[in-house]
């Protein structure tokens, strides 16, 4: 079972939404015509780990999830959520998939609906004090817009480092390793819009 934000109120609904990961991973892999071995080669994630995630018996880290997304040329929210018909839509907090990285404690909430013909991903992230998380490169063409709404975040993209304080925005091309670090004693909250991910 995917680890979740352990706050009262919506945990049962979040459990249901995150149970989509095994099925989504299997569906996306098959849609792209990849065997377990082929996806393993494309992503750098072991065949055994992919199989465990598809069976729902392993909790992927943010790094593993990022590698799988790159191997499938899909956004993280595409792995965690579900596609919806395009129309005006309200998505309540209880319906937003939340992934918690078991290593860093990063909590990633998918805010945007996922449409089959659109490749924009909007997410709210909360990183605990003193922690950092690293994401592997996305495929070419993916760009990210990051906004810090609370606290201070240090972001490293390839060899460039930035200190992003509350109210500041950072843009970067995400086809390089990008690392988020919280150097403070309080949780940092930041939004990311990812543009250019394929369906």
Query: Taking the complete model, does pTM exceed 0.85, yes or no?
Result: no
Per-residue confidence (pLDDT) for residue 116, from 0 to 100? 62
pLDDT digits (tens, 9 = 90+) for 41-63: 999 999 999 999 999 888 888 88
Q: From the options 1.10.260.40, 1.10.357.10, 3.40.50.20, 3.40.50.620, give the CATH code of 11-80.
A: 1.10.260.40
Q: What percent of the chain has pLDDT over 90?
A: 47
Q: From the options 3.20.20.70, 3.40.1190.20, 2.60.120.10, 3.30.60.50, give the CATH code of 93-195.
A: 2.60.120.10
Q: Domain residues of the chain, as ranges?
A: 11-80, 93-195
Whether the domain at 11-80 and the domain at 93-195 fall into the same CATH topology: no
Tell me the C-alpha distance between 28 and 23, whole Å. 9
Side by side, which strands form the sheet with 152-157?
132-135, 178-181, 152-157, 160-165
CB 119 within 8 A of CB 77: no
pLDDT digits (tens, 9 = 90+) for 104-151: 999 999 888 776 666 678 999 999 999 999 998 888 888 999 999 999
Q: What is the DSSP string of 124-166?
A: EEEE-TT-EEEEPPPPTT-EEEEEEEESEEEEEETTEEEEEET
């Amino acid at each position: 079972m995917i680890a979740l934000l352990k706050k009262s109120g919506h945990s049962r609904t979040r459990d249901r939404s995150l149970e989509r990961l095994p099925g989504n991973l299997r569906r996306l892999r098959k849609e792209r015509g990849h065997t377990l071995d082929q996806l393993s080669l494309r992503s750098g994630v072991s065949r055994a780990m992919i199989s465990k995630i598809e069976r729902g018996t392993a909790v992927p880290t943010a790094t593993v999830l990022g590698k799988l997304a790159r191997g499938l040329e899909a956004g993280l929210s595409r792995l965690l959520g579900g596609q919806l018909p395009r129309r005006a839509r309200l998505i309540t907090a209880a319906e937003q998939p939340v992934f918690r990285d078991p290593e860093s404690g990063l909590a990633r909430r998918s805010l945007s609906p996922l449409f089959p013909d659109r490749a924009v991903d909007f997410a709210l992230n909360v990183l605990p004090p003193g922690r950092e998380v690293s994401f592997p490169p996305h495929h070419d063409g993916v760009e990210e817009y990051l906004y810090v709404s609370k606290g201070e975040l240090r972001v490293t993209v390839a060899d460039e480092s930035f200190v992003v304080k509350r109210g500041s925005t950072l843009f970067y091309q995400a086809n390089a390793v990008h690392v988020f670090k919280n150097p403070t004693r309080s949780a940092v909250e930041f939004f990311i819009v990812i543009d250019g991910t394929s369906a």
